Amino acid sequence: MNDLRSMTLEELRELMKARGEAAFRADQLFGWLHREKVKSLEAMSNLPKSLRQSLAEDFAVGSVRLHTRQISRDGTRKYLFLLPDDQAVETVLMQYDYGNTVCVSSQVGCRMGCRFCASTIGGLARNLSAGEMLEQIYRVEEEAGVTVGHVVIMGSGEPLDNMENVIRFIRLLSHPKGKNISERNITLSTCGLAPQIYELAKEKLNVTLALSLHAPDDALRRTMMPVAERYSIKETLAACDAYFKATGRRVSYEYSLVRSVNDLPEHAEALSALLKGKNCHVNLIPVNPVKESKFSSSQAQTVRRFQKILEKNGINATIRKRMGADIDGACGQLRRRLME
């Protein structure tokens, strides 16, 4: 069935017009979907019963259902949601001092093949619709009894490999008549699909672009991320520079630290030289161990040493607080358990 929650307000107005309904019905419908976040057409009490019944014949509203919830010692909540086709996706709620952040998945699985990530084991099953991404947020808010103010598209999948649906998701999420989350509070993470980054820049969104860099040179990056075989660091950084020029939004560079692989002082010096002069931020991430991977997390003192070298060289760097490691916190781990 068609995904009603994925439709824009303009599309809903066209739908109402085609069905002989007044235009204001589309605004009511949009509000039920994205402000009230209802899970059924029956709940839309101010819509005529005949309209609800006719819409139910062609459209679906509730697209995800909770399968598993895990709560970490640090308060992080990880969810495994089942989709109508019984595929599964993961969503994470992280509670910070500045507010609640939800990490959403954009695909079922992933085909990027990053060596340290559980999401890519087994490959890509399918893309998620904008509505399926939105409903991850809505169901987390309902289950946890919280309001989400920040969203990161960093769960399972490569967002720019599902670009059309992800852009639709961002525009719906930030719509003033919907959830109305500021685009500035949305972060999109990519492994570095350079052509798509240029296309994203043309959309003139105000979202933060986060590049999963993880290595200061091509040779090392190719051992960790197959995408490096297609696009060099030079090509990828040029695309990120174009994004900054088009949007004015500082790019964040994600650097997952793997013990004795990319966390040595010489790696920090090389990364400093690579990013020198850029208006950027480096997010250092002690990698969450994945049992299918040989990679292990860098020690705390190693991470701090890496940060200090970057800062000494004028590179703004922070260490991401490690959250949810005791509840299969790494992308794809909980889904893998369901598949086993």
Q: Which of 161, 102, 93 is nearest to 133 (CA)?
A: 102
**Among 41, 60, 79, residue at a domain's last position:** 60
Residue 310 has pLDDT above 60, yes or no: yes
Q: Alpha-carbon distance 229 to 220, whole Å?
A: 11
Q: What residues are labeled active site?
A: 90, 331
Q: What is the domain count for the chain?
A: 2
Q: Domain of 48: which CATH number?
A: 1.10.150.530
Note the pLDDT of residue 121.
Answer: 86
Q: What's the mean pLDDT when you consider all of the chain?
A: 93
Q: What is the arithmetic mean of pLDDT over 167-192?
A: 98
Residues 93 and 146 in one domain: yes
Radius of gyration over every alpha carbon of the chain, rounded to an integer in angstroms: 21
Structural domain for 319, as ranges: 65-339
Residues 79 and 156 in one domain: yes
Q: What is the arithmetic mean of pLDDT over 150-165?
A: 97
Q: Alpha-carbon distance 334 to 76, whole Å?
A: 14
Least confident of 22-36, 74-88, 113-127, 286-300: 286-300
**Among 60, 82, 101, residue at a domain's last position:** 60
Predicted confidence band of residue 175 (pLDDT cuts 50, 70, 90): very high
Note the pLDDT of residue 336.
Answer: 53
Residue 239 has pLDDT above 90, yes or no: yes
Q: What is the pTM of this model?
A: 0.93
Amino acid at 95: Q
What pairs with residue 253 in β-bridges?
211, 282
Residues 94 and 26 in one domain: no
Q: What is the pLDDT of residues 15-44, one digit of tens each?
A: 999 999 999 999 999 999 999 999 999 999
Q: Alpha-carbon distance 197 to 194, whole Å?
A: 5
Q: Domain of 314: which CATH number?
A: 3.20.20.70
Q: What is the arithmetic mean of pLDDT over 310-319?
A: 97
Residues 26 and 121 in one domain: no
Residues 102 and 237 in one domain: yes
Residues 86 and 178 in one domain: yes
Alpha helices for the chain (secondary structure H) = 9-18, 24-34, 49-58, 130-144, 163-173, 194-202, 218-224, 233-247, 265-275, 300-312, 333-339
Percent of the chain scored above 70 by pLDDT?
93
**Among 18, 33, 60, residue at a domain's last position:** 60
